[in-house]
Every structure is written in C-alpha cells, then in structure tokens.
Amino acid sequence: MEFLALVLALAAIVLVLGGTLRTGVPPMPTSSGVRACMFDLAKDVAPATVFELGAGWGGLATALARRWPEAKVVAVEVSPLPWAVCRLRQALFGPANLEVRFADALKTDLRAADLCVCFLCPPAMAKLAPYLRDALAPGTYVLSNAFALPGWVPLREARVADIHRTAVYLYRRDAA
C-alpha cells in the first residue's frame, strides 16, 4: 500500500514536471486576491465566450464560469495531470457552462472568444502575443495575470495589494 502510494506520488511529480518542461510554465494557481483584482479590472466586460489559455488545476476556470454564468467558458490545458484534475472537478462539481479541453492554446481556434484569460510566463507571453494578434477577432479582450503581452498596449492595468504587488492587465484586440 505504501509502495503504491509512493509510485502514484512519483508518477504525479513526473507528469507535472514533464508538463512544465514542455510548456515552460508551472501549474501555479492564481491567488484569490489576484483573481478579485482581475475581475474588477474586467468589470464592464460582458463576454458570451471566454477562453482560459492554460487552465492548470481549474480554480480560475471555475471562478470565471461562476463570474459569468451566462457565458460559455472554455478552459484549455496541455499538461496531462492538471488537465485531468480540471476535467474531473468540472465533471463532479460543474459549473455546467465550463468546458475543459486538452489542447495547446497556441493551436486553438479563438475566433469565437470575446475574452481570453491567461497566467503564463514571459517566454510564453512572447509566443502568445503574435498568435493572439492573428487568432482573435477585433474587439476581443485579453486579461492577464502578472505578465504583459509584448507589443500590446493595455487598456487598463492594476496592481494587487499583495507582497509581490502583482500586476494585472486588460487588453483589447484593436481593429487594425
């Protein structure tokens, strides 16, 4: 029994490390304080479709689906264990307006998105910035925890009153 627990724990560590090495982004969740600041920054956004690009364990995805209960929220995650946990918690606890997909955000069709949400890291944001410029329809909002989108000018930004003074950014894909 102890041996089985050890094997399972090691398998979980290998899966999380493998996913992190592949994407360069660990599955670290957005804190509740940052989440509140992000929602405040986007308070006048009323999306019909939200994509979360890199949903991790699903905490922020669930909060997004509860924040906008009329919207369809699509949580995209490419790391197997966080994706499985996110998928399982949605199956067990909902909400029904949350769909969880095992997919690479940089290969996802985002034309239906009104709002994209992300918490990645600077190298991943550098890849995401040009991808979003091509993939998003004009007028689509992008809400980012901590890291700016290189080459994009934020519509609004705020600092969370936490020890890191975490920045959050709201962008809008322009019509150009």
Q: Which residues of this chain interact with ligand SAM, rule CB under 6 A? A: 19, 23, 25, 27-30, 52, 54-56, 59-60, 76-79, 82, 104-106, 119-120, 124, 145
Structure tokens at 40: 């405040």
In the chain, the N- to C-terminal Cα span, in Å, equals 61
Query: Is the CB of residue 146 less than 8 Å from the CB of residue 165?
Result: no
What CA–CA distances, in Å, run from 43 to 35, 68, 166, 175?
A: 12, 11, 18, 22
Closer CB to ligand SAM, residue 6 or residue 21? 21
CA pair distance 160, 152, nearest whole angstrom: 21
CA distance 34 to 164: 11
Residue with smaller CB distance to ligand SAM, 30 or 140 = 30
Closest CB to ligand SAM among residues 19, 47: 19
How many residues are present in the chain? 176
Q: How far is the CB of 161 from ligand SAM (least distance, A)?
A: 18
Least Cβ distance, residue 77 to ligand SAM (angstroms): 5
Asked if 98 and 73 count as a contact pair (C-beta separation under 8 A), the reply is yes
CB of 64 to ligand SAM, least distance (A): 9
Cβ closest to ligand SAM, residue 124 vs residue 142: 124
Q: How far is the CB of 3 from ligand SAM (least distance, A)?
A: 29
Residue 104 CB, nearest approach to ligand SAM (Å): 4
Q: Which of 7, 14 has the CB closer to ligand SAM?
A: 14
